[in-house]
Chain A
Amino acid sequence: MIQLENVTKRFPGGQEALSNLSLSVDKGEMIFVTGHSGAGKSTLLRLIALIERPTSGQVIVDGQNTRRVRRRKIPKYRRQIGMVFQDHKLLYDRPVYDNVALPLIIAGVGHRDAGRRVRAALDQVGLLHKERRSPETLSAGEQQRVGIARAIVTRPKLLIADEPTGNLDPDLSLEVMRIFRRFNEVGVTLLVASHDIALIDKLGCRRIELEDGRLQDPAQEEDDEWL
């Protein structure tokens, strides 16, 4: 689903966020990226979402080399990826329903179809009864679930999440991760950046660790933590 080949991302200032990173995520896999802040987790996700382009190397998502995606085609490219953010990035001037419906409206899905899909997505995150509420009136955990509903409403094959539990307490975090887990069970590939190693280990998923833009030896650590 995702292949990174010798990807380096250097910022104008000169610092390297990612150094010669190679990585492969299979279809249907649920994988966590861990590491300290500044280790390059966000940059990795931003490269996949085409918010940034690599300085060198290839990023291939679902068979598409992002290098070949032209500027005008970026919106279309992004529509096939579901994205969840630490700060939810909801639009607070409209109700929950409208927030979740937005990707469908962008994709040009008809009204009735959109209604069914939005309700299905809200149902999956357990917020069906709050579709008329303003996001502001919801708790942090609920807001994040709205963000997740919005990310999955178009049924993307790939879901990427940047610190989705960063602002949540352990119980809510676990709940969010369980939701992710269920999507994974129906075939969605997930790439989640997180520093909550304890939580990740509860889920028993593959984990890679970044440090200074490089891959740590994951197998070794995984075994250590697993025991």
Chain B
Amino acid sequence: MAVTRHSDAVAPVRSSGPVSTWFTRHASTSLGALGRLAKHPFSSAMIVLVIAVTLALPAAINIVVKNAQAISGGWDNALDFSLFLKQGIPASEAEGLARLIEQRADVASVRFVSATTALAEFRELSGFGAALDQLPDNPLPHTLVVRPGAGNTSASMLLLQEELANLPEAEYVQVDTEWVQRFHAILDIVRQAIAIGGALLGIAIVVIIGNTIRLDIENRRDEIEVTKLIGASNAFVRRPFLWTGFWYGLFGGLFALALVFYGLYLLEGPVARLAGLYQSNIAIASMGAAEAAGIVGIGVALGLLGAWFTAARHMRRIEPR
């Protein structure tokens, strides 16, 4: 066997440009990690699926809450106050008061319902027509139906209600916002719960990826030892595992998006039907690009985090023997 002495074989080891080397090295390491995932498609897919479901769950609940909020926000503004005036206030005065209230910034419109109109409506709707005819005079007061402006918060609504009730002409203000407020409080709790649950699920993803990579490291223990033996640093042996975590997170995030969008697609029909029944044009508020990117980003970040924790802990332990 002939030994030829190549000129470049005797030259000292020379690194090419640090940036391009860094880049190509990462590119080949990331592709290598991807290739290893592809070698075990079933188990890789299972892990991606688990991550995807774990990410999709809080994302989906978040969309539900967002929609509930949008719908109930509509209710908030549609709430009318019924301002019942004291008995004996003449209709002309009531109408003047109506115009006065209408000028308030926090009021959209005021409708004057005279006692006569109210009685007529009541007679029509209640079916007590004959009985009402027996009454000597109209027991109903004049009523102003006040529709608050769109810009009101729940606090300013409360203030408006108070001020209407304090008018000297006012007998009673009727408003039924309590259940809306309760509903909002519930939504707030749900949103908090998503945050807490989301954090827990995030930890779960870190643990899942960490554990997967720990097994991966155990399986490749010999390889790590040999690589370290010929001078690889901890960072070098860690790199492919970080890429593995990255890929798990990326695919998990993308698949989570697919799950969420598929769910929205399934809901589209029923929601359109519901909207048709209410003669309204409710549409599901979907996910924006930023939110979608956020889910994928969170997936990637958690994947890297899980990989980092595990790799950092185990790499130091594996030393050549």
Contact = CB atoms under 8 A, between A and B. Distances in A.
B8 to A, nearest CB: 5
A207 interface: no
Given A110-B15, A186-B5, A91 B226 contact: yes
Interface residues of A, number: 41
A91 B15 CA distance: 24
A201 interface: no
A79 B9 CA distance: 16
B232 interface: yes
**Secondary structure call for the A interface:** helix
Contacts of A83: 229-230
A108 B229 contact: no
B232 A124 contact: no
A78 B229 contact: yes
B3 A110 contact: no
A120 B230 contact: no
A102 B230 contact: yes
A139 to B, nearest CB: 14
Contact of A109 (B14, B231, B234, B319): B14
Contacts, number: 98
B15 A108 contact: yes
Interface stretch (A3-11, A27-35, A111-119, A215-223): A111-119
A117 to B, nearest CB: 7
B232 A75 contact: yes
Interface string A178-191: 01001000100000
A227 interface: no
**Secondary structure call for the B interface:** loop
A198 interface: no
Nearest to B320: A51
Given A108-B21, A108-B25, A117-B9, A102 B229 contact: no
B126 interface: no
B25 A107 contact: no
Given A109-B16, A111-B24, A155-B13, A150 B8 contact: no
Interface in A72-109: 72, 75-79, 83, 89-91, 93, 102-109
Contacts of A113: 8, 14, 16
Given A76-B231, A102-B227, A103-B231, A109 B15 contact: yes
A136 interface: no
Contacts of A102: 227, 230
A143 B16 CA distance: 30
B166 interface: no
Interface in A125-167: 125-126, 150-151, 154-155
Interface residues of B, number: 36
B223 A105 contact: no
A71 B129 CA distance: 98
B227 A106 contact: yes
B10 interface: yes
Interface string B2-43: 111110111111111110111011000000000000000000
Contacts of A110: 15-17, 20-21, 24
Q: Which of A83, A107, A154, A186 has the most CB of B within 10 A?
A: A107
A106 B236 contact: yes
A108 B223 CA distance: 19
B117 interface: no
Contacts of B123: none
A78 B234 CA distance: 13
A34 B2 CA distance: 28
A123 interface: yes
A121 interface: yes
B9 A155 contact: yes
Rank and list the top 3 A-B pairs by shortest CB-CB distance, nearest first: A110-B16, A79-B231, A120-B9
Interface of A: 49, 51, 72, 75-79, 83, 89-91, 93, 102-113, 116-117, 120-121, 123-126, 150-151, 154-155, 175, 179, 182, 186
Given A79-B230, A109-B21, A186-B10, 9 more contacts: A75-B232, A93-B223, A107-B15, A108-B22, A109-B13, A120-B8, A121-B9, A175-B1, A179-B3
26 contacts: A51-B319, A51-B321, A75-B232, A78-B230, A78-B231, A79-B230, A83-B229, A89-B226, A91-B223, A91-B226, A91-B227, A105-B25, A106-B227, A106-B230, A106-B236, A107-B13, A107-B231, A108-B22, A109-B14, A109-B21, A110-B24, A117-B8, A124-B4, A155-B12, A179-B1, A179-B3
